[in-house]
Amino acid sequence: MKVFALCLPLIAACAAADPPTAELGAARGALDEAAPSAMEYAVPEWTAAQAKLGRAEQAFAGRDWRAARELAEEAEVDAKYARALAEGERVRER
């Protein structure tokens, strides 16, 4: 059990060593999906997600995989939130 506990930091370091291309792609996709409705009903939220993706791409370019991964994941969640908020507003208008 102690050996496993000692290996956890190594496992985490290995996971952070891979470029987060999938996470960046997921964030871009979420932003693209959210854009049509969010640009009408949730502009500040969508803009914040876009800015976070921009920071993720900068971190990726600087080979800071951990920061790029975290920011991309946050951007994806923010974009999904913007989309949900926009859809809610759109439905309320009807």
pLDDT tens for 37-74 read: 999 999 999 999 999 999 999 999 999 999 999 999 99
What are residue 64's phi and psi, to 5 degrees?
Answer: -95, 80
Indicate whether this model's pTM tops 0.85: no
Going by C-alpha positions, the residue among 48, 38, 49 that lies closest to residue 73 is: 49
Going by C-alpha positions, the residue among 21, 33, 24 that lies closest to residue 52 is: 24
Alpha carbons 76 and 94: distance in angstroms, whole number: 28
**pLDDT tens string 7-47:** 555 555 555 589 999 999 999 999 999 999 999 999 999 99
